[in-house]
Amino acid sequence: MTALELLEGIIGFASERVNPTVDTVKAGDKNRAVKKAAVCFIATPEVIKASHKWGADVLITHEPTYHDHFDNFDNSEIETEKRALIDSTGMTVIRYHDHAHKIEPDIIHEGFLSALGLKYNYTQHRFYTLEKPMTPAELAELIESKTGTKHVKIVGKSDFPAARLSLFLGACGDGCHLPLKKGKADISICGEVCEWKSCEFVRDASQLGHNMAMLVLGHVGSEREGMKLVAEKIRNELGIEAKYFDCGEVYTYAD
């Protein structure tokens, strides 16, 4: 199997094809033979080096490599150094973003919820109902313990039992609070958020006596479990040796 054939294979996991798409070969030879595929949330220099040391022929990343959604290369110092690092490994770099979210249900969501070990019912895209209600504080503690996210931020009330979840993992714009506002969910679990809009709505609502909460994980913490599931799917369905490489959180903390 070539790198391009592998890309077509993982695109084929989706329920529909996205066009135009950012899911393309970003670096290296598209015709390179693939025996080992590294999978990551984002291709940091440390992930690139670790993948190469493992012997990967292809590195599959969920997020952009050159700090631009379309991986437009601007010849700046950091981008040039990063491209040189990738070129030195000989690996082919593939982006797998749009079609991961088009698997039904969304594999990024499924990976996240599966990592938590919760029993739930899938209702529609972004919406899940827990079989056993949990408080936002309990859910935040579970996320920290199961995913390695150091600090899950809780906005709103933290002590009421709830079962209806909405998932806005990754970077989903400034509407993460809308399912709460429309009464479709009680807890919204988010990656990146617009604080002045989404978080402040939830704070206002809770101070006015409404039971609702938002859990903010950060982009990495909310989506990496899904990419672990992508690696598993490649192994099981495409027969390629695949391994997930973790980039760690983008933040460091004083504690």
Least trusted range by pLDDT, from 67-81, 130-144, 176-190, 225-239: 67-81
Q: What is the dihedral of CA 127, 170, 97, 6, to 10 degrees?
A: -90
Give the DSSP letter string of 200-231: HHHHHHHHTT---EEEE--HHHHHHHHHHHHH
Q: What is the pLDDT of residues 54-87, one digit of tens each?
A: 999 999 999 999 999 998 888 899 999 999 999 9
How far is 194 from 208, CA to CA, in rounded Å?
21
At 130 the pLDDT is: 97
Cα separation of 155 and 54, whole Å? Answer: 41
In the chain, % of residues over pLDDT 90? 96
* Mean of per-residue pLDDT scores for the chain: 97
Which pLDDT tens digit goes with each residue over 154-206?
Answer: 999 999 999 999 999 999 889 999 999 999 999 999 999 999 999 999 999 99
Only one residue has tokens 């040039």, namely 80
For each of the domains in the chain, give its residue range(s) and CATH number, in order of start: 3-102 (3.40.1390.30), 107-220 (3.40.1390.30)
Query: What is residue 33's DSSP assignment?
Result: B
Dump pLDDT digits (tens) for 10-21: 999 999 999 999
User: What's the rounded Cα separation, in Å, for the pair 253 and 226?
Assistant: 24
